[in-house]
Amino acid sequence: MFTFAMLFASGCAASGGSSSPASPTDSPNEPTSAVGANPGASTTAGAASPTVAAIAAAVTAIPTAEAARETTPTAAATAIPTIQSTRGAVPTALPDTTPTPGNVPQADPPRRGAYIVYDGSRRQVLLFGGQAASDFTNREDSWTWDGDVWRKLELGPPPVRSGASVVYDAARKQVVLFGGVDENGEMRDDTWILEGAAWKHLSLAVSPSPRTAAVMAYDSRTQEVVLFGGEIYAGGMSLTEKLNDTWIWDGVKWSQRRTDVAPIARVDAGRVYDAARGRTVLFGGYGEVRGGHQNDTWTWDGETWTEQQSSESPRPQQSPNLVYDGSRKQVVMFAGLNSSGNIVPATWIWNGVEWTQLRRDNSPTEVGTVSAYDATHSVVAYSTPGDKYATPESQTWLWDGKTWTFLK
C-alpha cells in the first residue's frame, strides 16, 4: 500500500528574481522566476516586513495580505498542518512534460491562500477558504479529498482570514483556527473551532497576542496544540514585530509556555509533529537576523526547544511544506521559497537525526503550496498554476515516498 503527500497551491501573477547561491547540497540549476504569485512569497532578500497598511490594503482590496506581501520576504504563509495516510493503487508514472490539469475533479474555483487540514472526524482532508485565483473574491466554501476526487462539503462559512494558523485537534475531534488578518485588515487574536457542520467562536479570557504567520501543530503525545512565533503590529501602521513565544492550547484555554531557549523570532516557518519520535519539528522561516531566511532545525518535546544539528541541511527558505509520512516514520519537506521568492526545487527527508535530499525533479513547483497527510487515503498535492495571461487551473499531486506523481 502506498502513501503520499498532499498539497494545494495557487498562482496568478508571475514574479521574478535571481536565485540565491546554491548550497553544497542544492544544484545551481534552480528556477530563477516564480511560476505564480505567492500567498506568502518573498522576492527581496533581507527586505523589511510588510507594513500594516499594506496588509490592510491588501485584504480590503481583495488580493489579501499574502498578495500584498509578494515583494517582501516576510509574507504570511497559509500553510496548514501536515497530516497522514495510506492508500490503494494510484498512478505511478511521472509525466514526461509539464503537466496540465485533466480529469481529476478539483475544488472550484481554483484558489490561492486556502487552508488545508486532515479532519480526523470525517477521515478526509478538508480544504476551505482562500480567494478565487481568477478574480480574488473571498471564498467561503469547503471541500474534501476522498482519495480520488475533490467533493464540495456543505459547511457553515469559515472566518474570512489570511495568515491564520489551523490544525486538527485529534483529542477533541475539532479543527482549530487562531488569529490571522481579517477582511478589514486587522490582526486578530480570536480562536475558532469547527464542530460538526459549523464554525464556533470561543470567548476566552487569555489568548496569544494578535498575530499572523504563526505556526501550529498538534502533539498527540501530550494531546495539546503548540503555537509558535508569527508577527504582530508594534506601535504603528508601518511597524511589525516578529515573535518567538510558545503557547499551548489544551482544548479549553491558552497558556504561555516560557522557555530558557527558543528559536529566533520568525514568520512562515515549516512545522509538523513527528509521531515516531514524539517531537514537533520546526524548520526555516523568515527572521530579522542571520540573513533573513533561515535553515535551522528545532524540536519541541512538550516542555523545551532543542536545536538539532545535521551534517547536511536544506538551503534557507520560508514557507516550506513539512509532512509527516506515517508509513515510513519520517518527515518530508518540499516547496519552500528562497530569498528571490522562487520555489526551492528539492524534496528532503528528516529521520529525527539527519536531513537527506532525495530528488529535485518533477516535484510541485507552485508558489503558495500547502499540504496535508491523509491517514485514510493518501497525502495529496493540490495546486493552481497560471500567470496573469493564463486562466488558473488546479492540479493534484501525490508522493509515494520516492516519486511525485501528477494526477491527470
Write the pLDDT tens digit of every residue in 36-91.
Answer: 333 333 333 333 344 434 434 433 433 333 333 333 333 333 333 333 333 333 32
Does residue 20 register a pLDDT over 80? no
Does residue 387 register a pLDDT over 80? no
Does residue 389 register a pLDDT over 50? no
Does residue 96 register a pLDDT over 60? no
Could you tell me the three cell numbers for 220?
Answer: 498527540
**What's the pLDDT score for residue 168?**
95
Q: What share of the chain is helix, strand, coil (3-state, %, to 5)?
A: 5, 40, 60
Gap between the Cα atoms of 288 and 397, Å rounded? 34
What single letter denotes the amino acid at residue 303? E
**What's the pLDDT score for residue 69?**
37
Identify the residue with better confidence: 146 or 192. 192
Does residue 282 register a pLDDT over 90? yes
**What's the pLDDT score for residue 255?**
98
Identify the residue with better confidence: 276 or 4. 276
For residues 304 and 258, the answer to whether their CB atoms sit within 8 Å is no
Average pLDDT, the chain: 75
Could you tell me the three cell numbers for 308?
Answer: 538539532
Q: State what percent of residues in the chain have pLDDT above 90.
A: 39
67 sits in which H/E element: helix 64-68
* Mean pLDDT value of segment 378-407: 68
pLDDT band at 395 (very low <50, low <70, confident <90, very high): confident
- CB proximity list for 109: less than 8 A, separation 6 or greater: 132, 133, 134, 139, 392
407 sits in which H/E element: strand 404-407
**What's the pLDDT score for residue 6?**
52
* Mean pLDDT value of segment 219-239: 87
